[in-house]
Amino acid sequence: MKLTSLIFLFILFSTSVFAEKIFNAKSFELRNGLKVVVIENKRAPVVAQMLWYNFGSGVEENGKSGLAHFMEHLMFKGTKKFPDSYYSDFISKIGGSENAFTSYDYTAYYQVFPKYELEKIMQMESDRMVNLTLSEENVEIEKKVILEERFQRVESDPSAKLDESMRSILFPNHYYGRPIIGWKHEIENLGFDDVIKFYKKYYIPNNATLVLSGDVDFENVKKLSKKYFGKRKKGTPLIYESVIDPKLETSVMVEMRHPTVKQNIWKKFYRVISYKTSLRESLALEIGLKILASGSSSILYENLVNKKKVFSAVGGYYQGLTRGEGSVYFYAIPNKEIEFEKIDKIINDEIDTILKKGISKKRFEIEKKKFIFDSIYERDGVLNPAQSVGEAITIGIQLDDLESLNNKIVNISLQDVSTALRKFRDNNNFVIGELNN
């Protein structure tokens, strides 16, 4: 699942609202270290439960890439009390839905279901935290599934293979340079003992945050959390080492040639600040990049696609919800064959011209309001609040800071955005990629 700017949902553009909290979330912590967040929304008798583990592929040992994602698959194999696919079958039977996803920094499991089944769902989620029943046979069967998934998502997709190579160069020292799904040869060598060791070490309550959103009652959640999750034993807490990548002092270009490529694509990946580093600077950068490069209404698209007709598409976006450094992804599809070094110069020159001319106050205000109003339609959902809050907390953003983001967003100035874009333009930590046949 792609996660982009979900943290900024539910912000109302009204001065009467800016003094209020966005989610009005309540939280507490069990004695075993499990954090619990409750977001009450009584508009429909539906609940979303998300259990966020504060680790993803980043905790994997060297040589064992893909283990966190592998474990995510195996969490659906059942326990002694709820064997095989009992959990999934039960959710389907009551008309609910479920899924899970692994990122570099977190692993999350979610269910959406009728409110009257809250206790049962919490019981089953708590049970699989520590009581999975795995065999060497089902581990080997699932490994084949994952290898096929890697083939479909990466091995058979030249663009994905290029992205994978570019990230490995952009983040030479950090786990962000290692694919979440894992390297093929390392997945093949993962075994039953690797899985069991990983499960017992990391799937503990003090590595997790439980978020419940929808038609729930805070006191009832507190009671049920203690009843089902409170009995789980505390383990050794996870401590992330601070890993910093070196500056990229050389110009790096990665080329991917494949006979199935029908359209040449230019890509450029940057290392930039994250929301954890600075909420204000990241907000300014994201708003600025939306004006500059997001979608067909962006300035780059208008100038280089509609007016000059150099490209059939051009754009970029920011991924800043990360524990470490964030990323910016740029791409362009030329209308005719152009040397890829020239594409980079065309785009850089265009950005320089835009920054020299300056972004108009009107354009800035429109984009800032759009940035806020686009989120209003998502307010009534039950899953999105759990997604936004859980992701933010798991990567290290404090709940109080998240609740007051509406104030921070409205206080972003045009000068903030201009400064962020100029800093971005001077950023030399990037890798350029070329996809062609």
Tokens of 424: 């971005």
Annotation marks residue 20 as catalytic: no
Q: Where are the alpha helices (DSSP H) in 358-413?
A: 361-373, 383-395, 399-403, 405-410
From the candidates 60, 72, 281, 367, which is the catalytic residue?
Answer: 72
Measured distance between the N- and C-terminal CA atoms of the chain, rounded to whole angstroms: 29
DSSP bridge pairs for 51: 109, 210
Any idea what the Cα angle at residue 421 is, between residues 419 and 427, rounded to 5°?
Answer: 105
Please, which residues have CB within 8 angstroms of residue 123's CB and are 6 or more apart in sequence?
Answer: 228
Please, which residues have CB within 8 angstroms of residue 429's CB and are 6 or more apart in sequence?
Answer: 170, 245, 247, 248, 270, 271, 272
Backbone region of residue 4 per phi and psi (left: phi > 0; alpha: psi in -120 to 50; beta: other values): beta
Backbone region of residue 41 per phi and psi (left: phi > 0; alpha: psi in -120 to 50; beta: other values): beta
Q: Which residue bears the tokens 């009832």?
A: 220
CA atoms within 13 A on the CB side of 248: 23
DSSP bridge pairs for 78: 83
Give 3-state DSSP helix, strand, coil % of the chain, rounded to 5: 45, 20, 35
Q: Is 273 within 8 Å of 282 (Cβ atoms)?
A: yes
Nearest CA to 194 out of 77, 100, 72, 60 is that of: 60
Nearest CA to 211 out of 21, 30, 388, 90 is that of: 388
Distances (CA, A) of 365 to 349, 406, 412, 414: 25, 15, 10, 8
Tokens of 410: 């409205």
3-state secondary structure of 372: helix
Nearest CA to 71 out of 205, 209, 173, 194 is that of: 194
Q: Which positions are catalytic?
A: 72
